[in-house]
Structure 1
Amino acid sequence: MDLNLIRIFVAVYSNGSYTQAARALNISQPAVSQAIKRLEDSVGMPLFIRQGRGITPTAKAVSMAEPLETAMNLINGAFSSERRLLGYGVEAVLHSIGKLDGIKFVLPPSDQSQALDDLRTNKVELMVDNVMTEDPAFVSELLSEQPIVVVCREQHSRLTTETMTREAFYNEEHVVLKTRRGGSQLLDVLTPESLEPRNETMEVTALSGMAMMISSSDLIGIMPVSFARLWENKLSLKIMPMPIKSLPLALHLVYHRRFTDDQHHRSIREQIRERVNQHL
């Protein structure tokens, strides 16, 4: 059996598309189609059938997929102990992970669907984010949950106590993150109640930029508590509980199921979990 045929079959099955498989493998779609036809001739029955504009696996393909994907992961793992993964990681958790041999983290795109497509096509191999998905192609593990807090500078001209009122929250000027998910800002997603309009005076692209701006002005901002504690003493910040109801920020470790048994990938995941758990 040609090992390349198995590699292409696994890619088609996991991506649910000849086109996406071709993109992930960096080969042409006709080459993918021809490989699947050769494999079908070898097993003596069809593996995928056309359904609308897409394809769906046959019962034979389903029965073959798991053992072949496991075998390919083991084979890939035998040659990948020194490879360097590329992953998406949000700033809210990267300070917890720090420098980790074997992986390079970059910030994810603001479009959640694009980030998942990049995982599907192997542009990146894992993601640490507040992304939520029920797509069965991915494994999504809860990595941590932490409250969000309000942050201001210690010498704020009006916020002189250790807490703030709901009225003060809406009266003060806010610095907010530019990043949005699903068209909403983070606070919109994590607040179960209807929000009043906030006085959004400034927009930044990073939590670190938010912390710096807060330290040198009377602006207030909202960030995860672990990130706020990181800068609390360095920038003379004050951390206050949210004066409105809010849910904890849930960060997930998300990766494609093709990497479940990959030895190197699994080692990186274990180190990420350990680093985050130690930091929180």
Structure 2
Amino acid sequence: MTALHPTPSTPSTAIPRSLLIINPNSTTAMTTALVPIITPLLPPSFRATYFTGPPSSPPSINNEADSTASATACLPLLLPLLASHDAVLIACYSAHPLVPQLRARTAAPVIGILEASVYFSLALLGASGAAGGKFGIVTTGAAWESLLATAVEELLGGKGRFAGVTSTGLDADQLHRVGREELEARMGEATRKLVGEGEEGKEGAQGAEVVCLGCAGMVGLREVVEQAAKEVGKSVKVVDGVEAGVGVLVGMVGRY
């Protein structure tokens, strides 16, 4: 059954702003894991409502077909909720169909965590002052490597400062089921590959200086990525797409 869980808001005479946080798969554990990440990011005048996809939605979104199936399952349930929320976050790291579908049906800002993480990454590269710096993505299953690369290049209008995508080989729901030791080993291997200097002798090869966590289920793994980069002598900035998305929406609500 679809789960809606409003977080407590600070008492105020003003009506609180409301964010709708959408997990389009049907795994409630993934939604639950978002709450302690998002709650501290909300100003006192904001509250969040959490939506989990219905049982007809895939338990894990592992490819383009799963994305489409989850959008089909979730859209009818989401439409009645739009009028009561000031902004919408799609907490799936993909070019998810719900992003354009909901944008076409509400004047409220709607963003996906992939898009938000790209914006944050570009800003962080500019702040680093490193000429030609690049960002990359550590994601789940290997199928996402080409899908996310295509989505980012479409956002940027080309490769731009994008270093590419590496994968852990774990599906999103497996992130919550494998042992911590295996999870950290897989994340570390993918990170070291991404931040390395690329193939020897390859013109323009350069490792990522900013790393995006390419799955909503990777919340809380920032330190694992940072440590893996240190093991190959690199210091990286890590972007959590969920945190980035909340930051973008909080900044937009009431201003645009």
Q: TM-score range by the shorter chain?
A: 0.3 to 0.5
| TM-score for both structures, normalised by structure 2 | 0.34
| TM-score for both structures, normalised by structure 1 | 0.32
Q: Higher strand share goes to which structure? A: 1
